[in-house]
Structure 1
């Protein structure tokens, strides 16, 4: 650490100016005393204007782009709301309110935690950023129905403002689209495949997976290029997760049929659009009954069926999926997948889904509230574990 502590103040200032997310500045200052003294703390006094996007048809919404970071929050064992005296770290989603305060949310449910705006002593806390997430919401705070996943797609490395912002989105249960500020319509990136399930930023590139498990990457010209052979997994919903530098496909088996893009075409094609859309929003989604995980062997171009995640935990969120080692967290066990039981409804602002856990060792699925200790990986532990 001594070498890093002796870095010139001018260099530390240059580094700090490249940190856009203010919690990153707080993390930067918490490294050591010399770093803390060389960089001023971020101001939380001024109001942050929300990032409004006026999206055209077929979404047609005045949306707010919510940007957050998934962090492992490390704290002393005697810290408030800490229920474990041995391990000292939990998962939390960190954002900023319009008043510049840090906003803590549940990593899966996006619910604000109690005491979300509490004044922390950041000298006692360390935030380790695991991933970033974006979510489109109405100004009221409710998620926009029909948007399955969204990621920022900057037009240049120096993209710093709204006028240069572009987004990639999976909408209407499978269409892959692109929109940038000022566009009067979405650009459909693939007019032959309306069955996309997930997007991820992996090693600086944008990757998508469809319902057959075919992974493709999106180049800078927005061309969709096949990256892997089809998985032909029999599950009904696919997620992409990066773990230890490798890319995985999680295949979720469902107990019924899920919505498709055709359901939205039917809604838009009638005269009573509002009534049809309301019925579609209230339609319960199918439940997960099993999971399988695959890793691509890039050398041989084949899929490897993963039988165990070892000490890793996969967390499948609406706006972000990621992995973490259980050794760094309070409670819980490795070789598990945390997910929302009715994710298709929760993701569209409908509520009604509790966090559940799939355990590879016996292929069981349980409500988080029924597994003592497993909820300790989140901060605070009592959020998101209800039925």
Structure 2
């Protein structure tokens, strides 16, 4: 049997350079002492975010001044944890792990910003004994629940998605494979201001002013941000996508597609996808049976119209369908995708990620799993989650798709947290 500890150091270093996850790097370094010594602990600086301050100022509505409020930044990682090799018929578990604003670690619902689960210690998940896939991470700025009535008016970040990266201060090139002087690198936060414009915070380089800058360019409000192929990308409500440069200029990546009401950016299998969410207003109505009582028909839901209703109350919006597009970088346009094949897309409050049906150990993919409060159960604490199947053009609560609902809480018995 080959002695893996004797692999050449230059080969080990090359392998480590391909590991684009802090978790994978830790597993790599834990194999043996020779593997650990083959690569510096922090050689992937753009994943460790060493230059970030513990708290960030709040960008005010006035671009020229920042108020005195500060907010913490929390990083959480999404894991798909599979059962031991001798239990391959069991389903995996999808979970998010990371700290809250007080730096206390929790298990979080993968699609929620503020819903964490109880875990009674002592309990231990030994990731070295289980197959684990790192599906990505999210960054949460602030310490307020997403639906808190006490949210201060000056919280102009508006609880939007945040992306964080370390890059060359001059080019914002990320992970170009060449060693850069530490003084020439900066850490960058990109998010969406309450005005709908992009907000940028830079620190770690002497040329960075360590304050928020609002990018004035905006044709329509931005919907989402992400990092793709080492570049920060933003998309607005029309589907127009831009890349943000180190000089805070924006360059067109894709022309608009229009159509839906909310745009999401998702990297899937090396491609950048645009998910276009269509919403429809629900109206709860009391049907009139014609008996003059006006209360015998029961409550039902219709979309938009008010026909045959005695009493109507405008309710929340709900998702009715999704369209998916992939980025054609050469033509700078979005091309509609009719099928995701075996891919499954997940749309959370602060993150969007994807996984294959093979890794999820299910028979099919081609679905979008998303947060939607319409599917929340007022009688329980379950999070509202919906599923849209592209092939069937069908949308339904997560409970209607047992093969997907088993990924979430509670954890399967083989995890050992019961």
Give the alignment's TM-score, normalised by structure 1.
0.71
Cα distance in 1 between the residues matched to 2:356 and 2:79: 13
Other structure's SS at 1:357 match: strand
Equivalent residue in structure 2 for 1:291, among 314, 322, 334: 322
Q: Is the 8 A contact 1:332 1:374 kept in 2?
A: no
Alignment-derived partner of residue 216 in structure 2: 190
Cα distance in 2 between the residues matched to 1:303 and 1:334: 22
Query: Is 1:253 matched up with 2:278?
Result: yes
Q: Show the 5 A alignment for 1:53-72.
A: 53-58=56-61, 61-72=69-80
Q: 1:160 to 1:23 in 2, by over 3 A?
A: farther
Deviation at 1:221, TM superposition (A): 1.9
Alignment-derived partner of residue 347 in structure 2: 316
Q: Deviations over 1:67-100 (max 9, x none)?
A: 122222233167xxxxx85155332223257998
Cα distance in 2 between the residues matched to 1:203 and 1:252: 24
Cα distance in 1 between the residues matched to 2:410 and 2:32: 27
Q: Is the 8 A contact 2:253 2:329 kept in 1?
A: no
Alignment-derived partner of residue 7 in structure 2: 7
Deviation at 1:35, TM superposition (A): 4.4
Equivalent residue in structure 1 for 2:399, among 360, 366, 369: 369
Other structure's SS at 1:179 match: strand
Alignment-derived partner of residue 336 in structure 1: 367
Q: 1:21 to 1:231 in 2, by over 3 A?
A: closer
Deviation at 1:216, TM superposition (A): 0.9
Q: Deviations over 1:270-290 (max 9, x none)?
A: xxxxxxxxxxxxx98622111
Equivalent residue in structure 2 for 1:230, among 240, 256, 278: 256
Cα distance in 1 between the residues matched to 2:84 and 2:17: 29
In angstroms, what is the RMSD of aligned CA positions? 4.5
Query: Is 1:28 matched up with 2:28?
Result: yes
Q: Deviations over 1:165-187 (max 9, x none)?
A: 43111122622111235858632
Q: Deviations over 1:156-212 (max 9, x none)?
A: 477989x95431111226221112358586322133434111111111111111111
Alignment-derived partner of residue 141 in structure 2: 136
Cα distance in 2 between the residues matched to 1:104 and 1:18: 28
Q: Is the 8 A contact 1:286 1:342 kept in 2?
A: no
Q: How many residues align?
A: 339
Equivalent residue in structure 2 for 1:209, among 235, 238, 243: 235
Cα distance in 2 between the residues matched to 1:137 and 1:286: 26
Q: 1:31 to 1:297 in 2, by over 3 A?
A: same
Deviation at 1:51, TM superposition (A): 2.6
Deviation at 1:320, TM superposition (A): 1.4
Q: Is the 8 A contact 2:101 2:142 kept in 1?
A: no
Q: 1:33 to 1:96 in 2, by over 3 A?
A: farther
Q: Deviations over 1:111-162 (max 9, x none)?
A: 323427632233312432222211112278979671322111436477989x
Equivalent residue in structure 1 for 2:96, among 77, 93, 106: 93
Deviation at 1:245, TM superposition (A): 1.3
Q: Is the 8 A contact 2:12 2:38 kept in 1?
A: yes
Alignment-derived partner of residue 55 in structure 2: 52
Q: Is the 8 A contact 2:73 2:101 kept in 1?
A: no
Other structure's SS at 2:327 match: strand
Richer in strand (by share): 2
Q: 1:96 to 1:15 in 2, by over 3 A?
A: farther
Q: Is the 8 A contact 1:250 1:293 kept in 2?
A: yes
Q: 1:88 to 1:198 in 2, by over 3 A?
A: same
- Higher RCO (C-alpha 8 Å, min separation 6): 1
Q: Is the 8 A contact 1:62 1:138 kept in 2?
A: no
Alignment-derived partner of residue 116 in structure 2: 112
Range with bigger deviation, 10-19 or 304-313: 10-19
Q: Deviations over 1:203-236 (max 9, x none)?
A: 111111111111111122221101112212x100
Q: Mind listing any 5+ residue stretches in structure 1 that lack a counterpart?
A: 42-48, 79-83, 258-282, 346-350, 383-387
Q: 1:246 to 1:10 in 2, by over 3 A?
A: closer
Q: Is the 8 A contact 1:196 1:209 kept in 2?
A: yes
Range with bigger deviation, 136-145 or 322-331: 136-145
Q: Mind listing any 5+ residue stretches in structure 2 that lack a counterpart?
A: 42-51, 169-173, 175-179, 283-313, 413-418
Deviation at 1:33, TM superposition (A): 9.1
Q: 1:125 to 1:33 in 2, by over 3 A?
A: farther
